[in-house]
Amino acid sequence: MSEFTRYLGRIASGAASLVSGMEVTIRYMFKPVVTVRYPRLRLDIPEGFRGPVELVTDPETGDHNCSACGTCARVCPSGVISVQGGKKKAAGQDGEGAKAPEDPFVITDSFIIDFSRCSLCGLCVESCPRKALRFSHMYEQCGTSRQVAVVDLVARQKALAAVGCEPAASRPGPQQQAAA
Ligand code: SF4
Ligand code: SF4
């Protein structure tokens, strides 16, 4: 086989490879788009999505229903929950004799979870007698240190409420909203 023949063969092989590659490209040009231009566009999150646990906001009170009973902390297999709270005197009330969880003046001061060690098993959500916990729809989790994964859910809920934001799970869905 002459050098010229081999040269023509390589050209033919390259052309066949190019056509093969373009065939895939052209085929997908006419198929439905399955990606979004993140972060400008976001996908709808399925109802059963298990994002990091969050406190449920009671629509009537605008607050959570956690009574700091500690059940979730006891059942957590990873031991990542720390709940602080107790009987407190509210305005016009006597804190003596308060019994969690019925008394309205049992206050949860902090509800800290270390999400870096949470397996999202759901035992805390299922065991809560007051249905005060649920899975969020948050799916963007990143940080530059382990400490950012340690979150006080009470403080976060208050911070979100202060700026008029709802917890992620109560949104109608991270819909396809163009940022601008
Ligand atoms: S979230 Fe539920 S189980 Fe956990 S401390 Fe609060 S009321 Fe108790
Ligand atoms: S989801 Fe499981 S591992 Fe995570 S905090 Fe709740 S009980 Fe613990």
pLDDT, position 60: 85
pLDDT at 119 over 60: yes
Supply the DSSP string of 84-131, one letter for each residue: EEEE-PPTT---TT--TTTSTTEEEEEEEEETTS-----HHHHH-TT-
pLDDT, position 90: 52
pLDDT at 177 over 90: no
Find out whether the beta carbon of 157 lies less than 6 Å from any atom of ligand 1: no
Q: Which domains does the chain have, with CATH numbers?
A: 53-170 (3.30.70.3270)
Residue 66's contacts (CB-CB under 8 Å, 6 or more residues apart) are 55, 83, 85, 108, 111, 128, 130, 132, 133, 154
Find out whether the beta carbon of 119 lies less than 6 Å from any atom of ligand 2: yes
pLDDT at 93 over 60: no
C-alpha 113 – ligand 2 centre gap (Å): 9
Q: Would you tell me how many other CB atoms lie within 10 Å of the CB of residue 35?
A: 7
C-alpha 128 – ligand 1 centre gap (Å): 5
Q: Which two tokens stand for residue 146?
A: 């382990």
pLDDT at 58 over 90: no
pTM of this prediction exceeds 0.95: no
Residue 177 · residue 41 · CB < 8 Å: yes
